[in-house]
Structure 1
Amino acid sequence: MTCVNVITGFLGSGKTTTLRHLLSQKPAHENWAILVNEFGEIGIDGALLADQGAVLKEIPGGCMCCVNGLPMQIGLNMLLKQKPDRLLIEPTGLGHPKQILSLLTSETYEAWLTVQATLCLLDARQLAEPRYTENENFRDQLAAADVIVANKQDTYQPEDRQRLTDWAAGAADGRPVVAVQQGALPLEWLLRPRENQRDLPDGAHHHAAAAAPRGLAALSLPGNQRWRRALNQGQGYSSCGWIFDDETVFDTIPLLEWVRLAPVERVKGVLRIAEGTLRINRQGQDLQIETQQVAPADSRIEVINPGETDWNALQRALLKIRLDGNA
């Protein structure tokens, strides 16, 4: 039997960082697998989670909760063939948890899976903004959780802590609320049983207008093409992602300025720089960067923003900071 946990949380709550921390605690004798879905088409989380000691399967560009579309089931079945001891599932921050949990607890997987605690990451600062608290998926992700992880507590102001306390008193219904920073969640929380059996409403999910090629096709570059971009849209958000070949190198300082100043809500990327690899994770004004000497297989960057955004202007600026300067 494979033990499975769903790790939910709205955009920018720190799911991928938390997954990396949990993977760092994996018992040496266990085999783990990760199934990750992203709103964007390019697929950044797979690169961020690569070489973390687990088998990884990505479902980019859409809604993993649309189980009738089969990508979720196909990805899940591929991973279960590896017979992992534990499977961690990270849906997109704009995804609804009902269909995923319904599939995992269905008769189809009863003999294969032991569904344990669902964890929901929460940045308590978002509780102050109606665009989050009035979002159906934001609310239902929290409602589905067995454990609520108040992440990024090192960034909270006193009013954020009070708002979290007030929210938990009314909405947590006795479920544990664990405060952590930088996703540093102890492994023991994965081992809790699934006890939250509340019935959730069906989520309103999206199917983006065609941005060919879509999904897995966005993970490769055809022919001699040096780069390409892919778009997605739904739930009031839009994403634009770029993938560059393994010969493209970015100028580090201008790249960091592009990331810092881009007029968007969310930026994630794994890019090749002269020094090796630059990993970027920005939510609002919160920016995390990480470097390593080994260069990535390619360069990928994805930005997400509510409403309309001038992707062409961002693209022109991004292309100018390549060191090789090729088209």
Structure 2
Amino acid sequence: MTKTNLITGFLGSGKTTSILHLLANKPANEKWAVLVNEFGEVGIDGALLAGSGALLKEIPGGCMCCVNGLPMQVGLNTLLRQGKPDRLLIEPTGLGHPKQILDILTAPVYEPWIELQATFCVLDPRSLLDEKTLHNENFRDQLAAADIIVANKSDRASEESQQALEKWWQHHGASRELIFSEQGNIPAALLDKPRLNMTPLPSAAGHAHGHALKKGLAALNLPAHQRWQRSLNSGQGYQACGWIFDADTQFDTIGLLEWARLAPVDRVKGVMRIAEGLVRINRQGQDLHIETQNVAPPDSRIELITEAQADWNALQSALLKLRLS
């Protein structure tokens, strides 16, 4: 049986960073796999996790539990039967609801295959200061379903966000475990804790997406001889726009970072080719984190997500001007 953990968390909480840390500290004699889902279509997290040494299956384009869970079951079956991993980490989109995912993982058909262990929710405590996020049912139910709450980004916490976390914990913590983390640094030993939280969850309302269903089974790749492509998705009150560029396209480093910093959106995530190699871009609200390496990725991918309406054509025009000849 494959030990399995569900790792949830709202947009920008640090799920992918946490998984990268866990993979970097896995036992050398174990084979691990990751099933990852993104709201957008272009598959940024797959690019971030590609060099981790884990088996990887991507389900971009909304929610892995859409269409009665078919995309999730296809990815899950592929990893379990072909990869036979010792451990499986499942990362749903930050806009995903955990109920149907947990229903699938605990279904009788998977009993011989999966040993479901502790469910995690990665939380940026500053989210508790935002009324709109607090009233988002996916945010609430991700926290409600977790055995372990990871208060991430503690290095960026304020006195106000710390007080909000303490207040929330007094009302909702119950007997669950709370740990504090910086840069997604989660002790790997916690993965072996049992799943004890059986809180009944309501079904998600307004669970619809604007993407074509055929895109839900594989990450977007460029057609032959096409230099770049744009992809759109919408649902649950959010819109996403992503771009993928071929391996011969490089971007002006300073201009690209300014574009990402100033884009009037809630979320920016990308892995982009620059003259120096690659730059990883991760922005949530006003928090911008960048990381450069002198290894070039096979292509460039960047995704923007926002609640407000955005002028994708204007953002695209500005991005295209940053390409180096």
TM-score range, shorter chain: over 0.9
Kindly provide the amino acid, as one letter, of the partner of residue 299 in structure 2. Answer: D
> Which whole-Å deviations, capped at 9, do the CAs of 1:96-127 have from their partners, x for residues lacking one?
00111111111000011100000001111110
1:208 Cα deviation from its structure 2 partner: 2.4
Report the counterpart of residue 122 of structure 2 in structure 1.
121
> Which whole-Å deviations, capped at 9, do the CAs of 1:117-164 have from their partners, x for residues lacking one?
000011111101111100000000000000000000111111111110
Query: TM-score when scaled to structure 1?
Result: 0.96
1:189 Cα deviation from its structure 2 partner: 1.3
* Distance (Å, rounded) in 1 between the aligned partners of 2:156 and 2:69: 39
* Distance (Å, rounded) in 2 between the aligned partners of 1:321 and 1:213: 31
Report the counterpart of residue 109 of structure 1 in structure 2.
110
Aligned CA RMSD, in angstroms, stands at 1.3
Report the counterpart of residue 206 of structure 1 in structure 2.
207
1:309 Cα deviation from its structure 2 partner: 0.7
The question of 1:179 aligning with 2:180 is answered yes
> Which whole-Å deviations, capped at 9, do the CAs of 1:13-55 have from their partners, x for residues lacking one?
0000000011111000000000000000111000011110100
Report the counterpart of residue 64 of structure 1 in structure 2.
64
* Distance (Å, rounded) in 1 between the aligned partners of 2:92 and 2:69: 15
The question of 1:131 aligning with 2:170 is answered no
* Distance (Å, rounded) in 2 between the aligned partners of 1:92 and 1:78: 20
Kindly provide the amino acid, as one letter, of the partner of residue 196 in structure 1. Answer: N
Report the counterpart of residue 10 of structure 2 in structure 1.
10
Query: What are the ranges of 5 or more consecutive residues in structure 2 without an aligned counterpart?
Result: none
The worse-fitting range, judged by mean Cα deviation, of 206-215 and 158-167 is: 206-215
Kindly provide the amino acid, as one letter, of the partner of residue 137 in structure 2. Answer: E
In the alignment of these two chains, the number of paired residues is 324
1:216 Cα deviation from its structure 2 partner: 5.1
Check the 8 A contact 1:218/1:230 in 2, yes or no: no
Report the counterpart of residue 39 of structure 2 in structure 1.
39
Check the 8 A contact 2:60/2:218 in 1, yes or no: no
> Which whole-Å deviations, capped at 9, do the CAs of 1:263-286 have from their partners, x for residues lacking one?
111000001111111111110111
Check the 8 A contact 1:65/1:98 in 2, yes or no: no
With over 3 angstroms needed to count, the CA separation of the structure-2 counterparts of 1:312 and 1:34, relative to structure 1, is same
> Which whole-Å deviations, capped at 9, do the CAs of 1:194-223 have from their partners, x for residues lacking one?
000111000125332346973456621123
With over 3 angstroms needed to count, the CA separation of the structure-2 counterparts of 1:227 and 1:218, relative to structure 1, is farther
Identical aligned residues as a percent: 65
Check the 8 A contact 2:10/2:94 in 1, yes or no: yes
Check the 8 A contact 1:237/1:307 in 2, yes or no: yes
Q: Secondary structure at the match of 1:70?
A: helix
Report the counterpart of residue 304 of structure 2 in structure 1.
303
* Distance (Å, rounded) in 2 between the aligned partners of 1:145 and 1:219: 31
With over 3 angstroms needed to count, the CA separation of the structure-2 counterparts of 1:153 and 1:249, relative to structure 1, is same
Kindly provide the amino acid, as one letter, of the partner of residue 68 in structure 1. Answer: N
Kindly provide the amino acid, as one letter, of the partner of residue 124 in structure 1. Answer: P
1:69 Cα deviation from its structure 2 partner: 4.7
With over 3 angstroms needed to count, the CA separation of the structure-2 counterparts of 1:54 and 1:307, relative to structure 1, is same
Kindly provide the amino acid, as one letter, of the partner of residue 55 in structure 1. Answer: L
Kindly provide the amino acid, as one letter, of the partner of residue 219 in structure 1. Answer: L
Describe how 1:1-327 pairs up with structure 2 within 5 A. Answer: 1-66=1-66, 68-81=68-81, 82-204=83-205, 206-210=207-211, 214-215=215-216, 219-324=220-325
Check the 8 A contact 2:10/2:122 in 1, yes or no: yes
* Distance (Å, rounded) in 2 between the aligned partners of 1:79 and 1:251: 38
Check the 8 A contact 1:211/1:230 in 2, yes or no: no
